Amino acid sequence: MLVLGRPRALVLLAAIVGASEILGVPHRAFAEEPVGPTIPDARRHFENARTLYGHGAYREALAELQAAHAIDPSAKDLVFNLGVVEEKLGDIDEALRWFQTYTTMALTPQERERADAYVRRLEGAKHELEHTPSTEPVSPSTAGSAGAPASEPPISPPGPARGRIDAATVVAGGVAVTALAFGAVVGVKALVDDPTQYTTGRDGTYLDLLNRSHMAHEEAVISDVGFSVALAAGVTATLLYLMRTRHAASPTSTAARSSPTISAAPLTGGAGFFVQGSL
């Protein structure tokens, strides 16, 4: 079945609107032909068609007009209105045929001018329809050859939610907080014990100065170790939270993984830490 594309639909709409502009309200299409069929039976069908047309029942009106025309084929008002209704139904070829027939009948100058206007407009609409590419429906069997996907690609299921808070995460976070607090306290004490302003004789002996210097240095090293452990534990807690799924894996897969390990060791003049393992 042919499916009208957007340009074709616009042309058809323009043709129908053009008819409405010429005819005015639906009743006028019949009212402009004052005579009508002279044969009683044809006249009855004609009046039925007028009523149906006024209610928008174009197919029923077309059937009544065809019945009237079969009885009185010489009535030009029937021929004219057959063209009007065919155009309303979107059949440009049939509408054009009826209006061309109408131009061959005995017409007044005004009727002929109107008939010629109808024929010119419908011929233009037909030309546009014939030269406008149509949009053919693509069947599933031809979708692949046409380059269109036969079906929508499957939607990948969302990955498992991450962000697990369990004993390991809590312990690592607790170690980070504790180590940070410990390093801060010892660091403050190292600053207090630092004998920068120490004066022998007034503040104590030279041996006291050496002891305080040694103690301040050890406290600074311990403070560095505390900060290093806090940093390592904080990184570990973050990795344990972000890099694992919210729900624990099966025992088999868990056993195949190695747990992260943390180690810290004092170094000369400071401290260092090491993180190893996989999640």
Whole-number pLDDT of residue 213:
81
Cα separation, 165 vs 241, whole angstroms:
6
Structural domains in the chain, CATH included, are 6-135 (1.25.40.10), 167-276 (no CATH)
Contact 4, 12 (CB under 8 A): yes
Q: Is the pLDDT of residue 171 over 50?
A: yes
Q: Is the pLDDT of residue 251 over 60?
A: no
Mean pLDDT in residue range 243-250: 70
Whole-number pLDDT of residue 62:
94
Whole-number pLDDT of residue 37:
78
Whole-number pLDDT of residue 21:
39
Whole-number pLDDT of residue 108:
92
Q: Is the pLDDT of residue 5 over 80?
A: no
Whole-number pLDDT of residue 53:
92
User: pLDDT tens-digit profile of 26-85?
Assistant: 334 554 444 567 789 889 999 999 999 999 999 999 999 999 999 999 999 899 999 999
Residue labelled with tokens 């009855």: 44
Cα separation, 117 vs 99, whole angstroms:
10
Q: How far is CA 170 from CA 63, 163, 198, 243, 251, in A?
A: 84, 12, 44, 15, 21
| pTM of the predicted protein model | 0.40
Q: Which residue has the higher pLDDT, 223 or 204?
A: 223
Q: Is the pLDDT of residue 101 over 90?
A: yes
Residue 240: closest CA among 171, 183, 148: 171
User: pLDDT tens-digit profile of 106-151?
Assistant: 889 999 998 899 899 898 888 887 776 655 554 544 444 444 444 4
Q: Is the pLDDT of residue 247 over 50?
A: yes
